[in-house]
Chains A and B, each alone.
Chain A
Amino acid sequence: MAAVIECRGLTKRYRGTTALAGLDLTVEAGQVFGFLGPNGAGKTTTLRILLGLVAATSGHAWVNGRRIPDPGGLVGVGAMIEEPSFYPWLTGRRNLDLLALSGPRPPASGIAAALDVAGLTGVADRKVKGYSQGMRQRLGLAAAVMRRPALLLLDEPANGMDPAGIREFRTLLRRLAGDGTTVFLSSHLLAEVAQVCDQVAVIHAGRLVEQGPTSQLTTGRPRLRLVIDPADQPSALALLRRWPTRADGPDTVLVHAADGRGVNEVLGRGGVWASQIVPERAGLEDAYLQLTGHPEATDAAAPR
C-alpha cells in the first residue's frame, strides 16, 4: 500500500526544548491510525508539521507523496487541530462557509452534509459564542470532513464531547474508513484508539517507541501474576529483577514475562514458592504506560 504520511528523522526544537527527536513514522492509505502519547510527547507538533503550520528543525515529512511544507499537499486533507477555534460572532454555518471560501471549494452540499454528520444541523444558525466545548469540537469535525478528504488528521477530536457524541464520532470514523478515507487520530484516549484504530503508533519524548497493529500491541505483551506469601514479596522482587517486575498489593507480584516455568524456577531456587502463577495479557493501557515509561505501568493491566 502507498504511504500517505511519511516522516523521517523529524525533529523540532523550540528554544532549547525538543518537541520531536527524530520521529520516523509511516501511515499507509486506508488505515485508521492511532497516534498515542502522553502530554508533551510531540503529537500536536507532528500534526502541525504535517499541515505546514510549523517548520521542522530537521528531518523530512511527506503527505500524499508531497514533501512538506507544500501547500499543494493539503489538497485532499481535512484537519482538526486540538481545541478548534472559530469566529464567535458568526454562526456555525457561516464559520464553515468562511473556511470553505479560504481553501479548495468543497463539493455541493458538502457543508450541509458535514453539519449533519457532526450532529449540528439544528444549531448551525446559532452564533458560535453560544456553543459548548463539545459543540465546538463537533464543528471542528464538520470543518475537517466538509471537503470529503482522502486523509483526515484529527488531534484529540473527542475532547469535551459527551459519551453519546464520542459514540457517534466512533461510528463516523468507521464509516469514513469504510469509504476509503485514511484517518490519522492523535489521542490520549486509549479506549477510543483501541476501538477504532487498526494501527497504532506510540510516541514518547518526541520519538516513536512502537508501531504496529493494535491487536499486536496488546496481545504481544504477556505477563504473569504471582500470588505469594506477603512475607516473601521482597525476596520475590529481588529474585525476579531480571524481568520488569512490580508489587501489586501485599501478596502479588506482576512480572512482564511469558515464561512461567522460568519464573517459577528462579523463585524455587531462591526458596520462594508461589501459590498461583496466572498468565495475563496486558491491555492497551498497560502497554501504553509501559512503552512510555510510566511508573504505574504494571498496575493498570486488566486480567484477561
Chain B
Amino acid sequence: MRLLHAELIKLARPLTWGVAAAAALFCVLLAVGGAHNAALEGGAPAGHIPSCAELGIPAGPRCARAEALERARVNQASAEPAQVAAQLNPLAAGAEAAGLMASLPGALALALLAGAHIGGEWSGRTMKNLLAQQGRRWRVLAAKLVSLWLAGIGLIAVCWVALAAAGPVLVRVDHLPATHEPAAHALSLAGSQAARGLLVLAAFAGIGLLAAVATRGTIGTTAATAGAVIAMLIATSLPALGRWTPATWVQAWMGFPAGQASVTSLPTNFWSRFISAGGAPGHVAGLVGVAGLLAVCLAAAAALFRGQDIGG
C-alpha cells in the first residue's frame, strides 16, 4: 500500500490534470453536439417510411426486412430527443461517462498517462532509483498498474461530474423533453456500465503496462498503447478474426450497440462504430475475453520486467 501511495503521489501532476480536463471537455462538447442534433431531429417532420416499390425491392422477406429497418430508423429519429435527455440525466450520465472512457477516448487518455507514469520512469531515468529502493519488481508493476487503473476510474468520475453538471443545462437550452426516469433506474444503469468499465480500464492499463515494459520510454509507451488499441479495432474487420478480437470482447462486455447502430445523436461509446454489426460474442464471452487480455498483458509484462536490465 505504501508503494501504491507513492505511485498515486506521482500521478498528481500537471499532465494528469490536463488529461482529466481534456476528457471532461470532450464529454461536454459531445453532449453539446448530441443535444443539439437531437433537438434538430425532434423538430423535423415525422419521417416517411418508403414502400418496397419505392425502394425497388420485390415483395417478400427481403422487402419486410427493409421496411422494418426503415421503420426502426424513423422511430429512432423521433425518439432521439427523449433518448438524449435520458442520457444527460445527472445520474444516468455515469453510463455515458463509463461508455466513453471504456472505449477509444479512454484508451487514448490512458495511453498518454501510461507513457508519462510508467514509460516516463525509463525516460526520466528514475526507474533505477525506484528499484534500488524496492527490489521486488512485481510490486512495482502491480503498483503501477493499479495506480494507472485508478487514474482511469478518476477519468470516469470526472466525466460523470462534467456531464451531470452540463446535462440539465443542455436539456433546457435545447428544449429536449423532460424525462421521468426513476432515479434508481438511472443510477442502476450508470452503476452497471461504470462497473463493467472498470474491467475494460484495467485491460487498457494492462496494455499500457506491457507497452511501457517493452518500449521503456514515454513516447514509445504512448504510441504502442494507442497503436495496440487501434490495431484491435482494425483486426475486427478481418473476416476470419471478426468475432475473436479484443475489440469485440470489449464491445460484448460493455453491451455497446453493434456497428452503425451506435452512431446516434449522443453516442454511448466510441468503439462499436468501428466494428461491423453481427456476430459479436455474448456478455460472458466478452468478460472472459477482456479478463484474458488483462491476464496476458500482465503475465507478459511481468516476464519481460523480471529479467530486464535497468540502464540509464
**A positions within 8 Å CB-CB of B:** 14, 48, 51-55, 69-74, 79, 81, 83-90, 94, 97-99, 101-103, 105, 143
Which residues of B have CB within 8 Å of A53?
Answer: 128, 131-132, 309-310
Q: Which of A71, A81, A89, A143 contacts B136 (CB 8 A)?
A: A71
Which residues of A have CB within 8 Å of B14?
Answer: 89
CA distance A101 to B10 in the complex (A): 12
CA distance A208 to B113 in the complex (A): 45
Instruction: Give the segment of B1-9, B28-36, B218-226 that binds chain A.
Output: B1-9
Least Cβ–Cβ distance between B186 and chain A, in angstroms: 39
CA distance A52 to B309 in the complex (A): 9
8 Å CB interface, B1-24 against A: 2-3, 5-6, 9-10, 13-14
Residue contact B125 to A85, C-beta cutoff 8 Å: yes
Q: A71-B135, A85-B312 are in contact. List 18 more A-B contacts (CB 8 A).
A: A48-B310, A48-B311, A52-B131, A69-B135, A70-B135, A73-B135, A74-B135, A83-B125, A87-B126, A88-B124, A90-B10, A97-B9, A98-B10, A99-B129, A102-B2, A102-B133, A102-B134, A105-B2
- Which of B6, B10, B132, B135 gathers the greatest number of chain A CB atoms within 10 Å? B132
CA distance A73 to B131 in the complex (A): 13
Which residues of A have CB within 8 Å of B312?
Answer: 85
Q: Which of B3, B132, B309 contacts A81 (CB 8 A)?
A: B132
Least Cβ–Cβ distance between A139 and chain B, in angstroms: 10
Which residues of B have CB within 8 Å of A101?
Answer: 2-3, 5-6, 9
CA distance A70 to B129 in the complex (A): 16
B58 on the A face (CB < 8 A): no
**B positions within 8 Å CB-CB of A:** 2-3, 5-6, 9-10, 13-14, 124-126, 128-136, 307, 309-312
Given A48-B310, A53-B310, A55-B307, A74:B9 Cβ within 8 A: no
CA distance A53 to B134 in the complex (A): 11
Least Cβ–Cβ distance between B76 and chain A, in angstroms: 48
CA distance A99 to B6 in the complex (A): 8
Least Cβ–Cβ distance between A131 and chain B, in angstroms: 14
CA distance A71 to B131 in the complex (A): 9
Residue contact B130 to A52, C-beta cutoff 8 Å: no
Q: Which of B125, B133, B307 contacts A99 (CB 8 A)?
A: B133
Residue contact A81 to B128, C-beta cutoff 8 Å: yes
CA distance A102 to B130 in the complex (A): 7
> Smallest CB-CB separation from A51: which chain B residue?
B132
Q: Pick 5 A–B contacts, CB within 8 A, sort by A.
A: A51-B135, A85-B124, A85-B129, A97-B6, A102-B3
CA distance A73 to B5 in the complex (A): 24
CA distance A55 to B9 in the complex (A): 30
> Smallest CB-CB separation from A98: which chain B residue?
B6
CA distance A98 to B143 in the complex (A): 13
Q: Which of A54, A87, A88, A102 contacts B309 (CB 8 A)?
A: A54
Residue contact A143 to B13, C-beta cutoff 8 Å: no
CA distance A71 to B138 in the complex (A): 11
Residue contact B134 to A103, C-beta cutoff 8 Å: yes
Which residues of A have CB within 8 Å of B131?
Answer: 51-53
Residue contact A54 to B310, C-beta cutoff 8 Å: yes
- Which of B5, B9, B135 gathers the greatest number of chain A CB atoms within 10 Å? B135
Which residues of A have CB within 8 Å of B6?
Answer: 97-98, 101-102
Residue contact A86 to B129, C-beta cutoff 8 Å: yes
Which residues of B have CB within 8 Å of A81?
Answer: 128-129, 132
Residue contact A103 to B133, C-beta cutoff 8 Å: yes
Least Cβ–Cβ distance between B211 and chain A, in angstroms: 21
Which residues of A have CB within 8 Å of B126?
Answer: 85-87
Which residues of A have CB within 8 Å of B136?
Answer: 71
Least Cβ–Cβ distance between A22 and chain B, in angstroms: 19
CA distance A143 to B130 in the complex (A): 11
Least Cβ–Cβ distance between A6 and chain B, in angstroms: 18
Least Cβ–Cβ distance between B289 and chain A, in angstroms: 34
Q: What 4 A-B pairs have minimum CB-CB distances, sorted nearest first?
A: A71-B135, A103-B133, A101-B6, A85-B125
